[in-house]
Structure 1
Amino acid sequence: MNVSLCIATYRRPLRLALLLDDLAGQARPPDELVIVDNDPDASAEAVVAERVARGLPFPVRYGRQPVKNISLTRNHSVALASGDWIAFIDDDERAPPYWLQRLCAAVHDYRADGVLGPVIPIVPADAPAWIRRGRFYDWARMPTGNTVPRNRLRFGNLVLRASLLRGATPFDPAYGLTGGEDGDLLARLAQAGARLVWCDEAVVHEPVEATRLALGWLLRRALRGGQDFARHTLAGRYGAKGLGARLRLALRAGVQLLAASLLTLLSLPFGRHHAVHWLTRASANLGKLTIFWGWHYREYA
């Protein structure tokens, strides 16, 4: 396998520096590293130049994409990549030494077109107790080799056959400020027959930023997740689309919103983390309903 590793970065030079150090220590390093900076001020450039000067065991391509749009930034990274396979990792994650080796081994073991792995959140020890007890940042996991359900497909830790991404705009720019471009692309690939499997051993870690240790952030992220689900559902990414799908989605979201709101109140005496769990579920279902009147939460704006 000839693997290009792509990183889209935005104003995280310190996090990016740590990630580059991790990548330099990979048991199976990438054949090239592609970094595309979405900051008009090019805040990543100095970090990349310093690490390249220090010495990295792979060539590095650095590009800029100054228009604030995660889809355009990811598309630019794919355009710069020359490998037969393209891996992706987020700029705020940490990669243990055997991460990429395990992703690539799973491609062969399961004859996959793409392999996804878990992102393990690292919650600070001084985070509020209800945050630490609530497990709000966890990804769903599954046994290695399982096909990943379409509604659980997302970026942050994966490798894909490059030929699947060679269109002009693999990531839809309409998701560029809202997020959800990753689930949209991967669901389209799965619909077209791509085999996307899970490797539970190919772990990366994500230290949770202090700004995310708050109820407001959790509610906004849940709302955006609900909007993503609704947009993908209405576009037919998870099955049939049309009036029937719209009605089913709206009815389920309405019922689940009411149920989650009630459970928020009922669970409050048993601990704030329980109440917040149901409150985020309510926010997610509210997000599904907001799609019907055309409002999108622009997380990356």
Structure 2
Amino acid sequence: MSSSFDDPGEAERHFASRADAARCGRSLAAIACAVLGAFTCACKDGRSAPAPPREPSIVRGDRVVVEATAAEFFEARVLQATKESLRVAPAEGEPISVAPGDVYRLPQAAGRFDVGAFAICNLEDAWVGCRIESRAPTGFVVSTTTGKRAELSSRALLQPSAVTELNLRNRFARAAARAAFLEAVARAGAPAAPPGYRPVPRARVVAKREGGWYTAVVEAVDRDGASVTFSADAWNTRVGLADLVPEPTSANPAPARGDFVLLRPSSPAEPWAPARVLGMVDDAIKVTNVEGTERLVSVRDVLTLAPG
């Protein structure tokens, strides 16, 4: 195919335009190839983000582990399954409905656990929250939310979800705080009677009984002890003078901030419970108990602990 141009400049411009078009076509083709090549390479080397494999759907008849409340577990069998809820039958008790997100299908694929990680452990035919303390020849040494230690194989451990892991972390943190509180109470000592105190018949006292301190009434007094009747169950026994103190009154001195005390129970059947003094609010004493619950009490409701 031939072309004629009267003006040499017009011919030069024509051929330059065709060259530019050819170069543009080659550039577009190169870009397309590069994009397609990159996509192909990403698929080959795994840099794309394929959807993770899904766990098999839970169906009727499956065995599952259920987290009914935070960090509390039980095994059950599925009676009915929908997308919104599961009807499960525990080994003991009536069937209940639970959310699918609170259920772990059994058996679960073996998980990978590091020291310090949290898991759901099968211990003594029960499922409990646990923490990996160390590796062992047959698996792992774990501590449980119930305060036990055991050596378990990896087959006895379930990998928790992010929500369950948070529940277990909080449960262990509360257990550690509780243990530290009780250790501090033990170091604080016991209630002490005022110097020179000697009980008299019919006096109300707080007496030691089976490791706890309970309200009682003095029946008789001898040289180094007293016969008392406990208000909880009318049980009468003899108690040494070192194991009883007068019931506190509003005339007692207020404890200092940081002191440990025993709190008057709401029922005489209960022991006087330990607490730590946080400070004074007007005429009231602000205390916190082993569970971290704060409340205001009066001077007549506390017995200050002191080292023996």
TM-score range for the pair, normalised by the shorter chain length: under 0.3
Bigger Rg over Cα: 2
TM-score, length-normalised on structure 1? 0.19
Q: Which protein has greater RCO, CA pairs closer than 8 Å, 6+ apart?
A: 1
Relative to its length, the structure with more helix (as a share) is 1
Q: Which structure is higher in strand share? A: 2
Question: Structure 2 length as normaliser, TM-score?
Answer: 0.18
